[in-house]
Homo-oligomer: A and B are copies of this chain.
Amino acid sequence: MNNTDSTKGTVGVLRVLTQGPEATAVHGSIIEERYPRLETVSRCIDDHPDGIPTVEAERAALPYVKSLAREMADQVDTLAISCALDPAVESLQKELSIPVIGAGRAVSHAALSLGNKVGTIGLEAGDPPIVTETLGASHHASRQVQGAETTNFLTTDDGRATIEATANALVEDGCTVIAPVCTGITTSGVVPSLRESIEVPVVDPVESMGALATLVARGSSD
């Protein structure tokens, strides 16, 4: 363990989008803001400037994710794989001695705790299989952000407006909980304003991992 502050748990945030250090740290900062008992250390896999936009791309990325996860595991208390496809999450949970959290399972289970008519917002490739499987019969509706072939689109003004329109359509579909199921939607920064404008609870895939990392953190804040 590498805690500089013994009252805080250290979360390793593994990003699947290859970027510079500042952009790589964005998810970690969002986690720290909402969950002050955590500090984060962020790293990204190599060779993936468009992230993991599809299930096919996921297969190619698995060795990168596993290798980086093993490198990070010694320095952190909890590992958060910041992609809703949950690449390598199940095998890393078995292999590593620290808790491993995937954004897909985290956001799906958070949504299920809050209601049984979950509406998901995904990219054009559709919902991650782990999300579909986890939500099961409580998956009330699914809508895709039009025009988002990669996560980079989501951080534009057009992208944010499209996400908001998609969420509103899901509420009209009768959904009682809204779950973006791509961590690129977190990066876009639109989730806090969605929460203000939409009546039903909105869960976020990155923040859901922070919720769980706080839950399993050892030590007391006293």
Contacts and interface: CB of A to CB of B under 8 A. Distances in A.
B214 A113 contact: no
Nearest to A104: B113
- Interface centre among A102, A106, A109, A199, by most chain B C-beta atoms within 10 angstroms, is A109
Interface string A203-219: 11001100110111111
Interface of A: 33-37, 90, 93-94, 97, 99-102, 105-106, 109-110, 112-116, 134, 176, 192, 195-196, 199, 201-204, 207-208, 211-212, 214-222
A6 B186 CA distance: 23
Given A101-B113, A192-B220, 13 more contacts: A33-B221, A33-B222, A36-B37, A90-B116, A97-B199, A99-B201, A100-B114, A106-B113, A113-B212, A114-B212, A195-B216, A195-B217, A196-B219
